[in-house]
Amino acid sequence: MAERAHGAVETGIVTVTVRVSRFHPETDRSSGQQDYLVPAGPGMTVLDALVYIKEHLDGSLAYRSSCRMGICGSCGMFISGLPRLACQTQIRALGPVVTVEPLPNYPVVRDVVPDLEPMVTHHTAVRPFIVRGGEEQEYPTAEYLQTPVELDAYLQFAYCIKCGICLSACPTLATDPAFAGPQALAQVYRYSADSRDDGRRARLGAVDIAHGIWRCHLAGACTEACPKGVDPALAIQLLKRLIVADVLGIGRRRGPAPVAPPDMQAQRRPDIPAAPPATVPGGSGAQKNQP
Amino acid sequence: MRESRWWILSLSAAALMVVLLTLHMGLMHLSGLMKVLGVDPGDVRSFAAVMERGRSLAQMVFYLLFLGAALYHGLYGLRSVLLEVTPPRGQGVLSGLVLAAGLLAFAYGAYVTVRTFTG
């Protein structure tokens, strides 16, 4: 009997009140709220509810989404008091009334769509890519050698999807909009700890400023909020260690990983068919390796 | 100068304060505990003891270091708090004001200490 009752709850439809923040920049001076009654089945996410509202109740609602599977980072919202990805948040777990607001610490474009420009600005300022000296930067010759241990040094920080949720959770950013923010700082560590990179000095200098890394309070809210399990607070602490070691001239610093030498001895096994000819003349190594 | 150098200085000042404050508390305020540990600092708060200590070179250096470390550490923390509510264009003025306040306080504290030393 108890199992049957439990099953009825699992499969039944409950009505959830979704209280959405509404703001139109051309007609509103400040944001308001609007309630929608949404029939919520098992497994329904907040993003599903917003899709339902837009399709059946109010086509003027604006929100941002794309992949619906926690990869693109588009649907970051302030849901029932916490910044989260709408596509990963089960609506029935939040009670009968669910509030949906735009991410804090960002300007609002419309309704629950934040302007992520502050994050993008800081992110691009720290050169979030592998930097190599000389012509290798513009004309890379081959892949760079890296051991699994060297990969582990930065791997978890490479899982950042740039959703901007960590910045909305950051208490420092709430009072200091010029603060670099956990996303950019974590990416500074991610690339500076990458053994293939040769741009550490410039990157560290970009965040070793008055509104840079030293303004972090180590509240850890960024780590709590990250939907991908990245630990930006840890990255910031590790980055502080890197910077102090750099300033004091202590610690070992090896040069960037070497370019992998071409495998001249490799030969195609006879049971593997030959690669098709290159579409760009002289642009493929496949033909060179053909016996 | 890179911000990290100011930050390292602040941490160094904190470490120095731990040593100096331990000595200060032990000698001036925890004489009972020091006696248990086998050190009798005597009546350190009598007028004669204060005047004698004021004319000691070691004491003068001790207090100047203590003054400098405490002022730097405290004012760097204050600047960090104020920086959060100061836009980047105002941070130079803020740093200048905090530096001026620190120099003024250090000059006043050093004057009293040195004046006591020289009599």
Q: Would you identify the CATH topology of the domain A9-114?
A: Ubiquitin-like (UB roll) (3.10.20)
Summarize the confidence of residues A63-82 as an average pLDDT: 97
pTM of the model: 0.84
> Integer distance in angstroms from the first to the last C-alpha of chain A?
72
The pLDDT of residue A11 is: 66
The pLDDT of residue A253 is: 73
The pLDDT of residue B6 is: 95
d(CA B4, CA A212): 10
Structural domain boundaries, residue B111? 3-118
Q: Does A198 touch chain B (CB under 8 A)?
A: no
Which residues from B are below 8 Å from A when comparing CB atoms? 2-5, 7-8, 80, 83-85, 87-88, 91, 95
Q: Does A192 touch chain B (CB under 8 A)?
A: no
Kindly state the DSSP code that residue A86 receives in the 8-state scheme.
G
The candidate with the shortest Cα–Cα distance to A96, out of A10, A21, A43, A35, is: A35
Kindly give the pairing relationship between strand A97-101 and strand A14-22.
Answer: parallel
The pLDDT of residue B100 is: 98
CB–CB contact B8 A247 (8 Å)? yes
CA dihedral (A248, A249, A252, A254) in degrees, to 10, reads: 130
Strand order in the sheet with A82-85: A32-40, A14-22, A97-101, A76-79, A82-85
Instruction: Please determine, for residue A1, whether its predicted confidence score (pLDDT) is greater than 60.
Output: no
User: Which residues of chain B lie closer than 8 angstroms to A210, CB-CB?
Assistant: 3, 83, 88, 91, 95
| Domain at B110, CATH number | 1.20.1300.10
Instruction: Please determine, for residue A8, whether its predicted confidence score (pLDDT) is greater than 50.
Output: no
Which helix (H) or strand (E) segment holds residue A110: the answer is strand A108-110
Where is average pLDDT lowest: A6-20, A86-100, A138-152, A200-214? A6-20
Angle formed at CA A254 by CA A250 and CA A257, multiple of 5 degrees: 155
Summarize the confidence of residues A124-144 as an average pLDDT: 90
Could you tell me the CATH superfamily of domain A117-133+143-248? Alpha-helical ferredoxin (1.10.1060.10)
Where is average pLDDT lowest: A154-163, A211-220, A269-278, B15-24? A269-278
Between residues B73 and A138, the one the model is more confident about: B73
Q: What pLDDT digit, counting tens, does each position of A280-291 carry?
A: 776 554 444 444
Cβ-in-10-Å burial (0-12, 13-18, 19+) of A287 comes to middle
**Each residue's pLDDT expressed in tens, for chain B with a length of 119 residues:** 689 999 999 999 999 999 999 998 988 888 888 888 888 888 888 889 888 888 999 999 999 999 999 999 999 999 999 999 998 899 999 999 999 999 999 999 999 999 988 87
Q: Is A22 helix (H, G, I), strand (E, B) or coil?
A: strand
Structure-token pair, residue A86: 């709408």
Instruction: Please determine, for residue A59, whether its predicted confidence score (pLDDT) is greater than 70.
Output: yes
List the domain boundaries for chain A: 9-114, 117-133+143-248
Query: Which residues 215-234 of A have a C-beta within 8 angstroms of B?
Result: 215
Q: Does A210 touch chain B (CB under 8 A)?
A: yes
Instruction: Please determine, for residue A5, whether its predicted confidence score (pLDDT) is greater than 60.
Output: no
CB A116 within 8 A of CB A173: no
d(CA B94, CA B100): 10
Half-sphere exposure of A131 (CA within 13 A, CB side): 16
Confidence of residue A51 (pLDDT cuts 50, 70, 90): very high
d(CA A18, CA A100): 7
Q: CA of B51, closest CA in chain A: separation in Å? A: 42
